[in-house]
């Protein structure tokens, strides 16, 4: 573990780049997660996300993604907003999508971090991952001691809640791992009780095909399944219900990352503004946003589905 002396420098640099936590784990096969992932896929709880069926082995073994991988370094980046949408009747967007697409922001930061590590350590091989490959980010963050996976299947940090992004560097350098922490969900079932579509089918198990985030973002069908009519609680892109009710999110603090702050007057738009949204305004509002994933037609589909 001759490289472990660099751990504190890497954590310090990660902090300077805006990540509020950074943890290390051994790049081994994820034995605990393998049967759970297989069961989840066998029950079709991934819905029409067929990409989840691909690269099963790579999802569970980082050594198949980076040659001679030794360590997974996990990072948390806060996106919790200072303000939310003003019109209580307006269709809702998940908080993570208020500002610029997180993929670009985090990739920029990790690029700087890899360069820093090369300058400090020398010739290392590593890859940055931000939802960009079959990496089970929550599992690695848990192994790295950055929180526990809650009953809503989100990673929860005891001092920060769960409104953050997770990213990884997988590197061919061996560091001393940070151990996991315990699960503090206890007997609480607030997330299960509050889920509008009953997507949390068991504690720690989410049926993705029932999740509002899946329905409004991942599902590309022209019409949303009619059994969810009247159950969407006005969410047009993503859903924050299980996080909003989580007691641990009372610790959430506003992000300091300017690029996560809303563009234009996104939070000021009224229900009628959203109903009258045209493609030109959509492109202005969401030019660099994760909302672009639905495209204009997808967002229109979602807004129409919310109407009585």
Of 57, 89, 131, 221, the active-site residue reads 131
- What does the alpha-carbon distance between residue 289 and residue 97 come to, in Å, rounded to a whole number? 6
In sequence order, which residues have a C-beta less than 8 Å from that of residue 8 and are 6 or more positions away? none
Scanning the structure block, which residue is given the tokens 């073994």? 61
DSSP structure class, residue 157: B
Positive or negative, the CA dihedral 164, 170, 173, 176 is: positive
> Is 131 tagged catalytic?
yes
Q: Which residues are catalytic?
A: 131
């Amino acid at each position: 573990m001759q490289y472990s002396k660099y751990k504190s420098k890497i954590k310090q640099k990660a902090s300077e780049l805006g990540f509020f936590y950074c943890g290390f784990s051994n790049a081994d096969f994820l034995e605990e997660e393998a049967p759970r992932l297989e069961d989840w896929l066998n029950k079709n709880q991934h819905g029409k996300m067929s990409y989840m069926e691909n690269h099963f082995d790579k999802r569970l073994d980082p050594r198949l993604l980076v040659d001679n991988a030794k360590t997974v370094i996990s990072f948390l980046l806060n996106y919790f907003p200072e303000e939310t949408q003003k019109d209580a009747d307006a269709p809702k967007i998940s908080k993570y999508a208020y500002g610029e697409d997180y993929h670009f922001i985090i990739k920029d930061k990790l690029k700087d971090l890899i360069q820093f590590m090369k300058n400090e350590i020398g010739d290392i091989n590593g890859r940055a991952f931000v939802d960009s490959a079959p990496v089970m980010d929550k599992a690695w963050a848990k192994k790295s001691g950055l929180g526990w996976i809650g009953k809503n299947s989100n990673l929860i940090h005891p001092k920060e809640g769960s409104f953050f992004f997770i990213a990884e560097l997988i590197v061919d350098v061996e560091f001393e791992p940070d151990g996991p922490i315990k699960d503090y969900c206890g007997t609480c079932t607030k997330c299960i009780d509050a889920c509008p579509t009953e997507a949390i089918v068991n504690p720690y198990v989410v049926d993705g095909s029932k999740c509002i985030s899946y329905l409004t973002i991942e599902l590309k069908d022209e019409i949303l399944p009619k059994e969810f009519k009247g159950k969407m609680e006005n969410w047009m892109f993503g859903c924050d219900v299980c996080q909003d009710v989580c007691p641990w999110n009372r610790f959430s603090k506003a992000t300091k990352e300017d690029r996560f702050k809303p563009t234009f007057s996104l939070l000021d738009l009224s229900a009628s503004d959203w109903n009258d949204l045209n493609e030109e305004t959509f492109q202005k509002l969401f030019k660099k946003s994760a909302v672009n994933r639905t495209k204009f037609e997808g967002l229109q589909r979602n807004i129409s589905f919310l109407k009585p």
